[in-house]
Amino acid sequence: MKFTAAQIAALLSGVVEGDENVLVSNVSRIEEGKPETLSFLANVKYTPYIYETKASIVIVNNDFKAEKPLKTTLIRVEDAYSSFAKLLEVYQQNTNNKTGISSLAFFGHDSSYGDEIYAGAFAYIGDRVKLGDRVKIYPQVYIGDDCQIADDCILYPGVKLYPGTVLGKACIIHAGAVLGSDGFGFAPQSDNQYKKVPQIGQVILEDYVEIGANTTIDRATLGATVIRKGVKLDNLIQVAHNVEIGENTVIAAQTGISGSTKIGKNCMFGGQVGLAGHLNIADGVKLAAQSGVGTSIRKKDAVFMGSPAIPADEYKRIYMHTRRLDRLMDRIQQLEKQIAEIQSRNSKV
C-alpha cells in the first residue's frame, strides 16, 4: 500500500513541510533511506544524515531546525520516535492480520474461542481453554488445559503455555517462550538427595505484557507468579516461581530473577542482571547491566550498578579509584622506600 505525506500527517496529528502528495510504500533507516520510503529522526547523532537521505519522507520533532537545504519532505510531530512506532504498529497490523483455523490445529474438550481468531497448523489447544476475540495462535503453539487468553493476544510459533496460565488483553508472547513450567523447588534430604516440591500454582499476565523469545516464567509453588500490566521482558530472561513484576517495568535480555522476589512498577533493568530470592525492589529502581543484587532496594527511583550492586554514584567513585591502582601502588612503594631509608638513617644515629 502507498500513503501520501498528508495521509501520514493526519494519522500522527503532524504538520507537513514540503510535498504533501509525495508517496511512500515502505520504511527505512535514515542513513540508508531510499526513494518512496519513510524514515524518522529522533537522535541528534543522526542529524547529518537528514541532509543526505534519499527517503521521501522523514518524521522529525517539532523543534528540529534545518541548517542546510533538505531534499526530503518533513512531517513535524511532538515525538518523532513514538510517532514512528505508531506507524510501524499500523503497518504490522495490516500485514499480520491472519484469521481462520487450520484443519491441522487441535482443540480439546470444552474449549471455546471468540471472533476472528487465527490458529495455525499443529497448534494444540487443550481442554477447557478460553480464547478471546482476535487471538492469534501461530503454528506449533502448545496451550495446556484450563488456560485463559483474553482478546488480541498473539502467540508466536513454538510458545508453550502450561495448564492454568492466564493472559490478559493484548499480550504478545514471542517464539519459544515457556510460561508455567515448574519452579525450581527441591527439599534437601538427610542422605544428600533432593526431593521435588510440587509446584501447583500458576502464571498470570495482566494486560499489554510482552514476553521475548525463549524467556521462561515459572509457575508458583502456591498462588501465582504475576507479571503486571504493561511489563516488557526481553529475550532469554528467567523469572522464577512466585515472582511479582510491577506495572510498566522493562527488563533486558539474560536477566535472572530468583524465587519470591517482588519488583516494583516503572523499574528498568539492563542485560544480565541477577537478583537473589525473596527481595523487594522499590518502584522506579534502575539496575545497570550485569548488576548482581543480593539485598532488597527500598529507596524509590534508586540507581544501582556493579556486583554486588551498590548505588551508582558510589560505584563510579570506586571505579575511578580502581583505574588508578597502578599509580597508587607506585606511590606506596615509593613511600615504603623513603620510610625504609629514614629508618636506616635513624638506626645509625
Which residues are the active-site residues? Answer: 241
Contacting residues for 6 by C-beta, under 8 A, at least 6 apart: 16, 20, 21
> Which sign, positive or negative, has the C-alpha torsion 311, 316, 317, 321?
positive
Q: How far apart are CA 45 and CA 48, in angstroms?
A: 8
8 Å CB contact between 22 and 90:
no
Q: What are phi and psi of 167, to 5 degrees?
A: -115, 130
Query: What sign has the CA pseudo-torsion 131, 135, 140, 142?
Result: negative
Query: Residues 225, 243: contact at Cβ < 8 Å?
Result: yes
The answer to whether 88 touches 105, Cβ cutoff 8 Å, is: no
- Alpha-carbon separation of residue 106 from 64, 78, 141, 148, 296 (angstroms): 54, 47, 10, 16, 45
Q: What are phi and psi of 75, to 5 degrees?
A: -120, 115
Rounded distance between C-alpha atoms, residue 279 and residue 78, angstroms: 39
**Farthest CA pair distance, the chain:** 104
